[in-house]
Amino acid sequence: MATKHILIVPGDGIGQEVTAVGKKVLDKIAVKFGHTFTYDEALIGHVAIEATGNPLPDESLEKMRKSDAVLFGAVGHPKYDNDPSAKVRPEQGLLKMRKELGLYANLRPIKLFDELLEASSIKPEILKGADILFFRELTGDIYFGEKGRKNNGDTAYDIAEYSRYEVERIARKAFDAARTRRKKLCSVDKANVIETSRLWREVVQKIALEYPDVEVEHQFVDATAMLLIKDPRRFDVVVTANLFGDILTDEASQIAGSMGMLASASIGDGTGVYEPIHGSAHDITGMGVANPLASILSAALLLDISFNMKAESEMVISAVDKVLKAGFRTRDIANAQTPADKILGTAAMGEEVLKFI
């Protein structure tokens, strides 16, 4: 029995809807296992800008630092997407949260539920058994380097930058994880042309000497992009830089059939943040049709990684598996053969999962 304080940060769009379901799952687990989970809420993104003018108010950041874990939704709003000149943007809140909390490692498990083999556009025989854990570096690279315009605004630049310690710390986390899995690690870079990638490869090669039991492969990012679709089962743990990780994990979401199925954890040396990898999806906001399973699986990751509650985490994943086996789907993972009465909205899908916990 444990007492933990969880901060719920719904953010924008469907983030509000799916985190409400994730919280219900955490509540049910607390009751089932005799834990006490206390909660608070905080603003981030567009809703925070509307309320305070700041995409990550100091109050929200303080609450994050004081919590044992954060269950997060999404940030973003169409009004900013259509206005590249906007000085204050929802995504700034996300980047600041990562930087201020030291969330340098983004974990994205790409785990395939057999019932969803048909939901992917890739042939089932290529997919079956795929189980990949991505480690994406989160606080360096081109996102955080110096950027600007020159020549009267006609030339733009973004500087990609990495320090040795930044590569070392995420590489160690990835190697440690590989040890608990199939003992295979693939480090992805573009060392044939990019200097930051040359440093990346040099550091990973050095750290690999400390892990003689882990088989290490170095791959260029373009080759990885191709092999993820051609032969996803060859991968176990994949570690890569921020930009490459952003692109490759979105590509890998198609292995699982839908972005609505994928959870993620952003961790460092303090409070961890757990979130679905899908965005704020304003085209379906308020319609009650968003897939809550990624938020539920993010809650499972939270239990496992931040609280070391392995049995509780497994129970949540098993409940999701049973709901899928029972034929229930949200519309993003349904197909032409799915009976109409099995296609559920956000809240109803959450209720089905709760029944199996």
Exposure letters 177-190 (e unless 16+ CB within 10 A, then b) = bbeeeeeebbbbbb
102 contacts: CB under 8 Å, gap ≥ 6 = 139, 268, 269, 270
Pairing of strands 263-267, 105-111: antiparallel
Active site residue 250: yes
Token pair 């809650």 is at which residue? 299
Q: Of the listed 27, 68, 131, 250, which one is catalytic?
A: 250
Query: 267 near 305, Cβ under 8 Å?
Result: yes
Q: Of the listed 27, 96, 99, 143, which one is catalytic?
A: 143
Active site residue 104: no
Active site residue 158: no
Q: Of the listed 222, 325, 342, 355, which one is catalytic?
A: 222
Query: 176 near 133, Cβ under 8 Å?
Result: no
What DSSP string describes 94-141?
A: HHHHHHHTT--EEEEEEE--GGGGGGSSS-HHHHTT-EEEEEEE-SSG
| Rg of the chain, C-alpha, whole Å | 20
Residue 36 tokens read as 């006490």
Using alpha carbons, list the distances in angstroms from residue 93 to 23, 278, 288.
Answer: 22, 17, 26
Active site residue 246: yes
Active site residue 190: yes
Q: Of the listed 23, 24, 63, 190, which one is catalytic?
A: 190
Q: Of the listed 68, 131, 158, 246, which one is catalytic?
A: 246
Active site residues: 143, 190, 222, 246, 250
